[in-house]
């Protein structure tokens, strides 16, 4: 039986812990009518439970395609432990702020809230840190029977480009006095169903979403390309095209948001 290495175990278990909090949050939404930015205070924690769990599960799944010496090494174990702890702490802070009835993001109303927001920024950086580590590792790892050419390139580019774009967009968004809104009414009420993005003006959460989910999209494209095409060259070309389109789309949506235009009006 193959050994279940520490990085994938800690990421997967952390993802399950976040998903386990969803039922209690749904109950809280039902009985707690308080709002922040004109929507129920428990909606934000719920979104972060799902998105962070997906990110951690992606790390856990894809790290299994790396060689055993990388998966079992001390360096990756430290990266996994730090990022998993940061993820759980970040979500705990978001939930605690919601329980207080205040915003967790873009909240400088008091010195306490401002300090909390700074710590959340550091936590967010630690959560996505494994992406750049794994991205470089995938790009440098030779192709094997398990790590096929399209998957190798898709994971390498997905993690690397996703990290760079997410860091840039999130960093810019965090510095804005109006938060993620650009023009329009600063409210989450009446936002795009499921996502909550503004339909009246620009919303920086849109490019942030597409940047982050390159980490899932490009590995899937690479895996599918390996299955569909017989040659490594064809699979890699598909991944490069998908990566170019993904980056162009993300940058285009960032420019759209900066111009105060809604993703979907």
**H or E segment and range at residue 241:** helix 232-258
Percentage of residues of the chain with pLDDT beyond 70:
98
pLDDT in tens, 174-186: 988 888 999 888 8
Look at residue 50 in the predicted model and tell me its pLDDT: 96
**H or E segment and range at residue 233:** helix 232-258
Q: What is the CA radius of gyration of the chain?
A: 19
For range 48-57, the mean pLDDT: 96
C-alpha–C-alpha distance, residues 256 and 161, integer Å? 20
Sign of CA dihedral 79, 216, 221, 265: negative
**pTM: predicted TM-score of the whole model, two decimal places:** 0.94
Using an 8 Å Cβ cutoff, are 49 and 26 in contact?
A: no
Look at residue 33 in the predicted model and tell me its pLDDT: 93
Q: What angle do CA 134, 138, 140 make, to 5 degrees?
A: 120
Token pair 């470089």 is found at: 136
Look at residue 9 in the predicted model and tell me its pLDDT: 94
Helix (H, G, I), strand (E, B) or coil at 25: helix
pLDDT for 91 beyond 60: yes
pLDDT in tens, 121-163: 999 999 999 999 999 999 999 998 899 999 999 999 999 999 9
pLDDT in tens, 197-219: 999 999 999 999 999 999 999 99
pLDDT for 82 beyond 80: yes
Distances (CA, A) of 109 to 112, 155, 160, 202, 228: 8, 40, 35, 24, 54
Q: For the chain, give me the number of helices (H) and strands (E)?
A: 10, 4
């Amino acid at each position: 039986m193959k050994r279940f290495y520490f990085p994938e175990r800690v990421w997967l278990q952390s993802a399950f812990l976040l998903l386990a909090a969803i039922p209690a949050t749904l109950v809280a939404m039902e009985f707690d009518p308080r709002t922040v930015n004109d929507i129920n205070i428990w909606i934000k924690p719920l979104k972060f439970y799902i998105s962070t769990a997906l990110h951690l599960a992606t790390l856990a799944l894809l790290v299994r395609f790396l060689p055993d010496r990388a998966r079992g090494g001390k360096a990756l174990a430290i990266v996994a432990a730090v990022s998993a702890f940061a993820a759980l702490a970040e979500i705990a802070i978001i939930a605690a702020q919601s329980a207080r009835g205040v915003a967790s993001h873009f909240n400088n109303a008091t010195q306490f809230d401002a300090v909390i927001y700074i710590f959340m920024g550091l936590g967010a950086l630690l959560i996505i840190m494994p992406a750049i580590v794994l991205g470089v590792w995938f790009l440098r790892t030779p192709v094997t029977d398990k790590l096929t050419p399209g998957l190798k390139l898709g994971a390498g580019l997905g993690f690397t480009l996703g990290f760079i774009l997410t860091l840039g967009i999130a960093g810019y968004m965090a510095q804005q006095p109006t938060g993620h809104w650009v023009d329009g009414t600063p409210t989450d009420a009446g936002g795009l169903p499921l996502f909550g993005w503004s339909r009246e003006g620009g919303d920086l959460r849109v490019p942030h979403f597409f940047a982050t989910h390159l980490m899932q999209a490009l590995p899937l494209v690479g895996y599918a390309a390996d299955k569909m095409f017989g040659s490594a060259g064809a699979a890699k070309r598909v991944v490069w095209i998908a990566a170019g389109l993904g980056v162009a789309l993300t940058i285009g949506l960032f420019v759209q948001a900066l111009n105060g235009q809604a993703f979907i009006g």
